[in-house]
Amino acid sequence: MSKAMGLLGYKVGMTQVFNDDGSIEPVTVIELGPCPVLQVKTADGKDGYFAVQLGFKDKPRKNAIRAEQGHVAKGLTSKRKEARQKAGVQLPPKADCEPQKHVREFRLDAAPTVAVGQVLKVSDVFGSVKAVDVIGTSKGRGYQGVMRRHNFDGLPAAHGAKKVHRQAGSTSSLASNRGSGRPKKGLKRAGQYGNAQRTVRNLKVVRVDAENNLILIRGSIPGFNGAFVMVRPTNKMNSKFVRGAVQQEVKQKIVLQKKGK
């Protein structure tokens, strides 16, 4: 499965836009970037893999701990830093920006082409991307029963059934787990519903607004309006949006060849 560079952002909300042919696209608006590159990891270094660490949204310095400030600042002094410099240790480069509110890492298949301190915008990463994956946290709905959480049917509501209509049913054999007395893992029971990381794959990119750092994608994504999300080019094999774009490019090349261009 391929790994590609993405960006960090906030879910703005849903709306609709009109295509050139008059059809309507239901879209989710996401504010993406700008994201400074805080760290670059390589397979031949101490990390052992390729990755790029990005930040999003400046964090007030009064709210940032010293470790967060030192992760991005060049001029922050410390006894350990002075000792390492005197010993001839080459210190890693710093982005020289404000502490970031959100810091995430994107693993890559090959060596990154970006440098520490570079600021990535939505047009730099998603300018020619046709489909994306969105990673977010679903809305938390509190403690719920099995009928709402797992779509159970409940027990019969006929005569003789008293106050059991929304219960899960017998758990005597399922909870034994071969005599250990512990419930089996993954058993569908009442519990917290939502507030879990979810990934929605292969969403069509409808429009990219580079001026306002916005991307419009077809369909819905996890989270409430204002929720933090990660967006990356889709890693789904045989995506119909990517395949359609490639076929269109091939058709254009054939037409140009026939015209002698």
**Which residues lie across from 205 on neighbouring strands?**
217
**DSSP assignment letter at 18:** E
Query: Which pLDDT belongs to residue 252?
Result: 67
Q: Residue 151: pLDDT band by 50, 70, 90 thresholds?
A: very high
Beta strands at 119-120 and 100-107: parallel, antiparallel or unpaired: unpaired
Residue 245 has pLDDT above 80, yes or no: no
Side chain identity, residue 236: K
What average pLDDT is seen over the chain? Answer: 87
User: What percent of the chain stands above pLDDT 90?
Assistant: 49
* Mean pLDDT of all residues in 165-186: 72
* Mean pLDDT of all residues in 32-45: 90
Query: Which pLDDT belongs to residue 181?
Result: 67
Query: Which helix (H) or strand (E) element contains residue 146?
Result: helix 146-149
> Of the ranges 24-38, 136-150, 152-166, which one carries the lowest mean pLDDT score?
152-166
| Per-domain boundaries in the chain | 141-193
Find, among 178, 179, 152, 176, the residue nearest to 166 by Cα.
152
* Mean pLDDT of all residues in 87-92: 85
Residue 145 has pLDDT above 90, yes or no: yes
Residue 132 has pLDDT above 90, yes or no: yes
CA distance 250 to 256: 10
Q: Residue 55: pLDDT band by 50, 70, 90 thresholds?
A: very high
Q: Residue 136: pLDDT band by 50, 70, 90 thresholds?
A: very high
* Mean pLDDT of all residues in 195-218: 93
Two tokens at 70? 């030192």
CA distance 153 to 7: 41
* Mean pLDDT of all residues in 72-77: 84
Query: Which pLDDT belongs to residue 241?
Result: 77
User: CB within 8 A of 49, min separation 6: which ones?
Assistant: 41, 43, 107
